[in-house]
Amino acid sequence: MNEILINIDNADDYTNKYNSNTLSNKLSNYIYEECKGKPINNEVLIIIKPTYKIKEEEKHDIINKIHNNYKMDLDENLLILKYSTIKKMAIFLLGILCLYISYFLKINFVLSETILIIGWVAIWEAAYAWLFESDKNKIKIKRLKKLSTCDIKFENFSKK
């Protein structure tokens, strides 16, 4: 289990200064950075240690802000992945089309070879993206899924 400790001194520590209904960017980045380098299959437990008396309503507000923050990030990354996949497929099909055209276009040697090269490069770019770049996105999506449903516990308030 990956445990992330968070010390909260006041509501400004977890609230976005521009929108009080969302999590602060600093806290969001901190939580995500704390997950890096740890196994992605491990569950995440966030332990919040407030230095002031915190009400139950505020606890639920913090939990909702954390979960909603990562759900929005997850939705955004899934959307990017969807369009990226469509783009990779289009590039791959363009490459195949270029190879097909270059095979039948024997009028001009230079033009035929240029189209052949464009076709192979397009196929290579799509294959490279599928084989190597998609892993980063899949890991990020898996982390965001864990964070959007993670357990969040509060420790008793203690003064500094």
Domain ranges of the chain: 2-154
Per-residue model confidence as pLDDT tens digits over 104-131? 877 778 888 888 899 999 999 999 988 8
* Residue of 154, 143, 135, 145 whose CA lies nearest to 34: 143
Q: Does residue 40 sit in helix, strand or coil?
A: coil
Q: Transcribe 71-113 into DSSP letters.
A: HHHHHHHHHHHHHHHHHHHHHHHHHHHHHHHHHH--S-HHHHH
**pLDDT at residue 36 in the model:** 86
Q: Residues with Cβ < 8 Å from 104, sequence gap 6 or more?
A: none
Q: Residue 157 — very low, low, confident or very high, per pLDDT cuts 50/70/90?
A: low
**pLDDT at residue 159 in the model:** 56
What's the mean pLDDT when you consider all of the chain?
87
CA distance 98 to 106: 13
